[in-house]
């Protein structure tokens, strides 16, 4: 007896996927609410392998979801909230239609349901490490909204919430010294912090005036912001309690209005570490006693007295010199084939106190928020700036003698700048930038802070002086591979054998061609001058006879014919080897004859161009031999492996060509710079 035939579209891939239209009908909610619910729950569209089987032969563009995901959403408590919201919205609409504005306001205030996402955070992130791993996009989105202006799409309340949460997170990074790397890019400033073993990378935009376009769907972005604010609130609470700090920290609204930003928050240590529910969040984590003691010391740390400030100022210059001269020893291999020893690195405590001995002053044109965050994350407790930049500065007096470093981003000083003028009370000189500088103070550009941070040590400040040509600012996450161009290494260490000589030959040929063009131009100008200054045509000129013309034509034709008959030898490898052997034999013969006759042979020293040509020739010969050997090895491969090797070689040749172009450009710039210094 034959079994029943299966109906098409009831099993297999057609049953595993469901279209968005069917999903919305099944959940009985609107499309915007469906999008919002999927974002909260982390459910995304899926692409089936065979769309025809899933859509029963249709090829129309359709969005599909997993059927199990939609089945999972049927039991979501937020569905009831969405339906209540729809019901109350209908009542408010009827009240407004009848002109009862007071009843509409009362309904919105009392009956509109409040949506909470606490249970979704617990579902999506079972452990705290899972939340930390998913924090990159959350921080980037919240920092973006914290820098946006308020508009009809973005309420000021949302922006204030993003600013508060992001600054609380920055305070934790400062307290725990978790910041590791940072990079200035076109998009903004990248930061990387290591928290409980997890590397978190986020992007902070520059503080320019943001113009939001009309092609941005702020409803979708607002849904993400609503979810991310809840997530970051939980994460901040857990991070603060892990180091024994009270969450949320005290917030000074007046200081925030005056531009205090980080200074508007005051951290406090917990007097008694207890477990249980705090601020509405359940936490079953026991606080580490050592972390609690450290937090209490941080919270109870008094401000630095003026006498201690002066002592630290006197010692700062000596500490800076010691740190610039004393470095970590490097283990160099004794032989090319010896084992590579692991290099010692600075400890995390040393890196965390990188800027601790110094007092910084930020000029008005520098990015105050990012510099304050980085300097305080690496131990600096004394950061000052002009009062126009906002509240919370260690000092607003640019002439304060306690300042050891000033970060500026202005043109260099003019030659012959006058000395600092005396203040009115005669106590200390006053700095009048850019006409004068304070003696004993180090002036650097902002890039110095980022490069010191990425390398984990204090760099030479004279390389970052005002107006100096800055070193390349490279991404700390991109490590140059073998064969690629590395701007940090000197050019000689990256060039293969014979490349430097080839660059010099090319440069000499370019110069010769340029000089030849100049000579041709001069000759043409002389000819024009002679032609203009000559007398009438025929005067002082010997007119050749017809016989002479025939002789000249015959000689020219003979010369042309000889040229046609013999084109010369081709410059081949075998002939070049023969010529080298013949030249060596002739040289040896001349030496023997000179030795027999007692004469001395004058040996001419080869020119630099000849030496470069010889080195380049030797390198080309070696390279040719390697290519021939490689071709012989290719012949032993199968067709499939030969094609794979061809693709690999294509990528390598492309990389080598790009690296060679960059090295040639750098060699040209270094040569021009050396010529300018000599001139």
Per-residue model confidence as pLDDT tens digits over 16-53: 889 999 999 999 999 999 999 999 999 999 988 888 77
In a domain, 529, yes or no: no
Residue 500 contacts residue 675 (beta carbons within 8 Å):
no
Q: Convert the pLDDT of each residue in 529-546 to its tens digit.
A: 444 444 333 344 343 444
Per-residue confidence (pLDDT) for residue 325, from 0 to 100: 42
Is 405:444 a contact under the CB 8 Å cutoff? Answer: yes
Could you tell me if 317 and 181 lie in one domain? no
The pLDDT of residue 223 is: 93
**Roughly what angle, to the nearest 10 degrees, separates helices 608-634 and 573-597?**
140
By percentage, how much of the chain surpasses pLDDT 90? 31
273 & 235 share domain: yes
**Last residue of one domain, picked from the residues 299, 314, 337:** 299
Q: Which of 632, 116, 455, 96 is nearest to 464 (CA)?
A: 455
Number of domains in the chain: 4
Contacts 24+ apart (CB under 8 A), 149-155: 149/209, 149/210, 151/212, 153/212, 153/218, 153/222, 154/212, 154/218, 154/222
Q: What is the pLDDT of residue 556?
A: 46
Q: Looking at residue 112, what is its pLDDT?
A: 86
In terms of C-beta distances under 8 Å and separation of at least 24 residues, what long-range contacts does 476-479 make, across chains too?
A: 476/181, 476/182, 476/183, 476/192, 477/181, 477/183, 477/192
237 and 133 in a common domain:
yes
One domain, residues 260 and 366:
no
Note whether residue 551 is domain-resident: no
Low-confidence ranges of the chain (pLDDT < 50): 272-287, 291-292, 295, 299-300, 302-328, 343-344, 416-424, 432, 514, 518, 523-572, 574-575
**Which of 566, 358, 342 minimizes the C-alpha distance to 448?**
358
Asked if 170 contacts 262 with a C-beta cutoff of 8 angstroms, the reply is yes
**Are both 193 and 49 inside the same structural domain?**
no
Residue 498 and residue 469 share a domain: no
Task: Decide if 557 is inside a domain.
Answer: no
Does residue 405 belong to any structural domain of this protein? yes
Residue 190 CA to residue 174 CA, distance in Å, equals 16
Domain encompassing residue 84: 21-110
Per residue in 134-164, pLDDT tens?
Answer: 999 999 999 999 999 888 888 999 999 999 9
Strands 360-362 and 250-251: unpaired
- pLDDT on residue 508: 58
What does the pLDDT look like over 453-482, one tens digit per residue? 999 899 999 999 988 888 889 899 987 777
Helix (H) or strand (E) holding 593: helix 573-597
Q: Last residue of a domain, which of 110, 135, 169?
A: 110
Pair 213, 146: CB distance under 8 Å: no
Mind listing the pLDDT tens digit for each residue in 326-369?
444 555 555 555 555 554 455 566 778 889 999 999 999 999 99
């Amino acid at each position: 007896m034959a079994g029943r035939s299966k109906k098409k579209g009831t099993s297999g891939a057609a049953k595993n996927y469901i279209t968005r239209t069917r999903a919305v009908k099944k959940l009985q909610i609107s499309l915007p609410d469906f999008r919002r619910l999927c974002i909260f729950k982390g459910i995304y569209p899926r692409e089936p392998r065979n769309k025809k089987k899933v859509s029963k032969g249709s090829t129309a563009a359709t969005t599909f979801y997993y059927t199990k995901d939609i089945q999972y959403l049927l039991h979501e408590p937020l569905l009831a909230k969405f339906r209540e919201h729809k019901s109350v919205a209908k009542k408010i609409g009827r009240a407004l239609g009848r002109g009862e504005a007071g009843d509409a306001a009362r309904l919105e205030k009392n009956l509109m349901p409040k949506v909470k996402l606490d249970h979704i955070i617990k579902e999506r992130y079972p452990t705290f490490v899972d939340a930390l791993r998913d924090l990159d996009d959350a921080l980037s989105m919240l920092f973006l909204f914290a820098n946006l202006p308020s508009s009809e799409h973005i309420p000021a309340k949302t922006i204030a919430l993003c600013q508060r949460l992001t600054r609380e997170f920055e305070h934790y990074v400062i307290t725990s010294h978790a910041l590791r790397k940072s990079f200035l890019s076109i998009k903004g400033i990248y930061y990387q912090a290591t928290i409980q073993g997890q590397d978190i990378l986020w992007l902070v935009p520059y503080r320019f005036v943001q113009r939001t376009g009309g092609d941005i769907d702020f409803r979708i972005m607002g849904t993400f912001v609503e979810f991310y604010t809840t997530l970051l609130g939980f994460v901040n609470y857990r991070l603060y309690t892990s180091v024994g700090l009270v969450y949320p920290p005290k917030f000074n609204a007046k200081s925030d209005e005056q531009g205090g930003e980080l200074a508007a928050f005051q951290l406090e240590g917990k007097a008694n570490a207890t477990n249980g529910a705090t601020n509405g969040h359940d936490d079953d984590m026991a606080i580490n006693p050592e972390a609690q003691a450290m937090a209490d010391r941080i919270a109870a740390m008094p401000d630095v007295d003026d006498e201690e400030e002066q002592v630290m100022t006197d010692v700062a210059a000596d500490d800076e010199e010691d740190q610039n001269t004393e470095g970590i020893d490097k283990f160099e291999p004794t032989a090319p084939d010896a084992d590579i020893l692991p290099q010692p690195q600075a400890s995390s405590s040393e890196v965390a106190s990188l800027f601790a001995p110094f007092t910084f002053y930020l000029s008005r044109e520098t990015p105050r928020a990012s510099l304050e965050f980085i300097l305080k994350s690496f131990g600096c407790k004394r950061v000052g700036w002009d009062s126009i930049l906002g509240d919370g500065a260690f000092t607003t007096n640019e002439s304060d003698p306690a300042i050891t470093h000033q970060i500026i981003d202005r043109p260099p000083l003019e030659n012959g700048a006058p000395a600092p003028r005396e203040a009115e009370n005669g106590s200390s000189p006053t700095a009048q930038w850019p006409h004068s500088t304070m003696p004993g103070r180090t002036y650097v550009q902002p890039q110095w802070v980022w490069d010191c941070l990425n390398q984990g040590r204090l760099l030479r400040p004279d390389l970052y002086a005002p107006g100096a040509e800055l070193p390349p600012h490279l991404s700390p996450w991109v490590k140059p591979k073998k064969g690629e161009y590395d701007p940090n290494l000197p050019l000689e260490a990256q060039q293969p054998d014979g490349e430097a000589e080839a660059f010099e030959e090319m440069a000499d040929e370019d110069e010769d061609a340029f000089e030849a063009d100049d000579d041709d131009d001069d000759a043409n100008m002389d000819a024009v001058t002679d032609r203009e200054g000559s007398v009438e045509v025929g005067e002082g000129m010997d007119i050749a006879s017809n016989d002479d013309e025939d002789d000249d034509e015959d000689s020219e034709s003979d010369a042309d014919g000889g040229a046609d008959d013999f084109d010369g030898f081709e410059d081949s490898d075998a002939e070049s080897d023969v010529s080298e052997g013949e030249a060596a034999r002739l040289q040896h013969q001349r030496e023997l004859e000179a030795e027999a006759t007692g004469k001395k042979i004058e040996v001419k020293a080869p020119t630099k161009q000849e030496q470069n040509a010889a080195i380049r020739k030797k390198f080309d010969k070696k390279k040719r031999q390697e290519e021939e050997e490689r071709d012989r090895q290719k012949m032993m491969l199968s067709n499939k492996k030969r094609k794979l090797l061809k693709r690999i070689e294509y990528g390598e040749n492309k990389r080598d060509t790009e690296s060679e172009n960059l090295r040639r450009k750098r060699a040209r710039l270094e040569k021009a710079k050396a010529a300018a210094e000599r001139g």
